[in-house]
A and B are shown apart, each in its own frame.
Chain A
Amino acid sequence: MDSFSMRIQIISIVISLILLIYSARLIIRGKLRAEYAIFWVALTLLLVLFSFWRDGLQFFSDLLGVYEAPNLVFMVAIGGVFLYLLHFSIVISKLKDDNRKLSRDLALLRERLEKLEKGNDEKSPGSAAPSRSPEGVGLPG
């Protein structure tokens, strides 16, 4: 019995440490934005804490009146995942909205730019082909 729980403790310690190192690497390489980095560091630290502190889970279960300690883990994990998914829906909605504004303004600006370039070409007959280079823009005549 004891060797069993010993084994699972070692496995969970190793997995949570790997997760911690991996998320630290992502943060250092700048692949995770700071606001998400905080969440992942906190989560992995929590995992590491509970894999070392074996009675911790039982302690909190008793505190909250949960009969079976694993149920507490499921409850907290599922609740956390749902909240985080909701958060992502909000983030995606905002991204989509920003995207729409950017595309819209880009299309409107492109049209204005083309109109300006056309106007420039008519004024200076020397430049025959419509120029897309930056020099062709904004200098009338």
Chain B
Amino acid sequence: MKKLAIVIPAYNEEHAIAEVVDAIHRLGNIGDVAIIPVVVNDCSADRTAEIARSLDCVLLDLPCNLGIGGAVQTGFIYAFENGCDYAMQMDGDGQHPATEVPQFVRTMCSDNAPDVLIGSRYIQRSGFQSSWLRRTGIRYLGFIIRLFTGLRISDCTSGFRMLNRKALQVVAEYYPDEYPEPESILMYKNAGLSIAEISVEMKERAGGKSSIRDFATVYYMVKVSLAIVFTYFNKQIKTDYHG
């Protein structure tokens, strides 16, 4: 029996969290893969922790607010230390439907499975597509990533991802704090991991706020672009150093 930890970073998600965990339980086992929901409470001000404690899930209760990256990394480290074969990230606001999980699992259990599988809204273009401004931003970041890695990623800001143990080991070492999704693609590439995309449908969030608010979009673009460039050169330095 293999184990898959579904990491749910939750910041003030008291209205959505129970439904997200229930939806995961409704999946049961997928093939020979057992699913463990792991809620990471990122120091919420509301009753997220209390609700999560009453649910049938692992609760990691952070004493300080670390941001989405820190919360996700905590969950991934839990998965790695507890011998999980795979870990998935699923947002706590109901944006990522649990019904898409089985196709992630099937792909990751197939022959020539990638190390990192990213769920993309923009392959089939069905389901919630986000605003025009965000789509433009995502296309721009995808362009930068292609420039530095040669990879074509259609939805580089998607947090709906599945990692195998090899990838978990990389994430346990380092994971960005803020807006980790695009930057982490470079990290995976630098570590020599294989990355693939899979078509998924997403929903509009049921509660909570996006970690990317509209007024912060410019900051987000600049920060992530810089992070991608720095991560790229960081790799150059490391390879130079090791000869």
Contacts and interface: CB of A to CB of B under 8 A. Distances in A.
B70 A108 contact: no
Interface stretch (A24-32, A50-58, A65-73, A97-105): A97-105
Contacts of A110: 60-61
Given A100-B70, A100-B177, A108 B63 contact: no
A64 interface: no
Given A100-B177, A111-B58, A106 B63 contact: yes
B46 interface: no
Contacts of A108: 60, 74, 77-78, 81
Contacts of A111: 58-61, 78
A110 B40 CA distance: 12
Interface in B56-91: 58-64, 66, 70, 73-74, 77-78, 81
Contacts of A99: 64
B61 A104 contact: no
A137 B39 CA distance: 24
A111 B53 CA distance: 11
B66 A103 contact: yes
Contacts of B177: 96, 100
B66 A100 contact: yes
Interface string B156-186: 0000000000000000000001000000000
Interface string B19-62: 00000000000000000000010000000000000000011111
Contacts of A100: 64, 66, 70, 177
Contacts of B81: 108
A100 B63 CA distance: 10
Interface in A34-93: none
A83 B63 CA distance: 33
B73 A107 contact: no
A8 B177 CA distance: 51
A103 B64 contact: yes
Contacts of A103: 62-64, 66, 70, 74
A110 B49 CA distance: 13
B59 A104 contact: no
A106 B77 CA distance: 12
B40 A107 contact: yes
Nearest to B177: A100
A103 B64 CA distance: 6
A51 B61 CA distance: 56
27 contacts: A96-B177, A99-B64, A100-B177, A103-B64, A103-B70, A104-B66, A104-B70, A104-B73, A104-B74, A106-B62, A106-B63, A107-B40, A107-B60, A107-B61, A107-B62, A107-B63, A107-B74, A108-B60, A108-B74, A108-B77, A108-B78, A108-B81, A110-B60, A111-B58, A111-B60, A111-B61, A111-B78
